Structure 1
Amino acid sequence: MNKFTSFVATSALLAGSLWAGIALGPRLPGLVGEVFPWTLYDNFQYKNSMGLQADQLYIFTTSTCPYCKRLRGFLKENHIAYTEFTTDKSKSALTLYEKIGGEGVPVSIIRGKKFVGFNSRIGELIKKSTQG
């Protein structure tokens, strides 16, 4: 490949990446659950200023997210107590979501673990974390 062809290929790649960032940027929080069905952050550090208790389950959701709906259903079905922060309905919930490094919804936090997304694996991990 000569220098000109390499330059054109690199430019096309950069332009495509820029277009994808502009086009998908506003939808990215919703896409995280679709593209990456779950992520586990072990040893998530609670900051005292956040007011979160390590032994309680907190979930950060939006009102339109299908994964959030599935998570809420799972928690209710398994009688797991939780505190919900709906980030598209409350400015204070959105602020706290940003403080915890939210990068998609739903986000579940308990016992030093932060889960992003929801599937049966996360469900089982949450169940284990709430049992002791």
Structure 2
Amino acid sequence: MNPVLRRLRGVFSTLALVAVAAACGWLGVSVVRSLVAQPMQQTGDYSAIVREAGHPVVLFATTTCPYCRQARALLDAMKVEHVVYDVDVSDAARALYGRLHANSVPVLVTARLRITGFDEAAYRSLLTRGGADAASGRP
């Protein structure tokens, strides 16, 4: 084989490999960003779930999720009256969680607000004295 053609073949192979690696890197970053999406707040009427749970604050979590552990710890530290439903170990928890049509954890629910994901500032804002009415469902 001609040495020039061999060299061109090597260059094109290298360029193709670099292009594939760049595409994989871009795709990987996109996937990671979608997996660690920012917490989302959604207003609505969640009073039936809160009433069924018997607590003003409901946390849907899993036993293995690090963000769920942070959410639990924050609620405990703030001494917020709450209940935790572990959707990975309880059929009843999964059924109640299913009514939210959520697809990730943690999900914090009050009578009027749902926070999907863990955001300490949003939790504190909702659950401090200024947000107590929102958490309890009072007008």
The TM-score, its normalising length taken from structure 2, stands at: 0.62
Please tell me the residue identity of whatever aligns with 1:35: V
Higher relative contact order (CA 8 A, sep 6+): 1
Cα separation, 2, equivalents of 1:101 and 1:47? 14
Mapped partners of 1:131, 1:46: distance in 2:
15
**Deviation string for 1:67-98 (max 9, x for gaps)?**
10000010111111101110001011011101
**Alignment partners' CA distance in 1, 2:127 and 2:109:** 12
Equivalent pair of 1:43/1:112 in contact (CA under 8 Å) = yes
Per-residue CA deviation, residues 37-86 of structure 1 (Å, 9 max, x unaligned), is 310001244447x8256x71001000000010000010111111101110
Per the alignment, in what secondary structure is the counterpart of residue 102 of structure 1? coil
Give the aligned partner of residue 64 of structure 1: 64
Q: How many residues matched? A: 104
Q: Which has the larger radius of gyration?
A: 2
Identity, in percent, stands at 20
Equivalent residues in 2 for 1:3-82, closer than 5 Å: 34-47=35-48, 51-52=52-53, 56-82=56-82
**Secondary structure at 1:84's aligned position in 2?**
strand
Structure 2: gaps of 5 or more residues: 1-23, 134-139
Distance change (3 Å), C-alpha of 1:58 and 1:130: farther
CA RMSD of aligned residues (A): 3.1
Change (3 A) 1:101 1:119: same
Measured after TM superposition, the shift of residue 123 of structure 1 is: 1.9
Spell out, residue by residue over 1:78-128, the C-alpha distance to the aligned partner (whole angstroms, 9 max, x if none).
111101110001011011101111221000111310100112222223313
TM-score, normalisation: structure 1: 0.65
Q: Where does residue 106 of structure 1 map in the other structure?
A: 106
Report if the CA contact (8 A) 2:59-2:84 is conserved. Answer: yes
Unpaired runs of 5+ in structure 1?
Answer: 1-15, 25-30
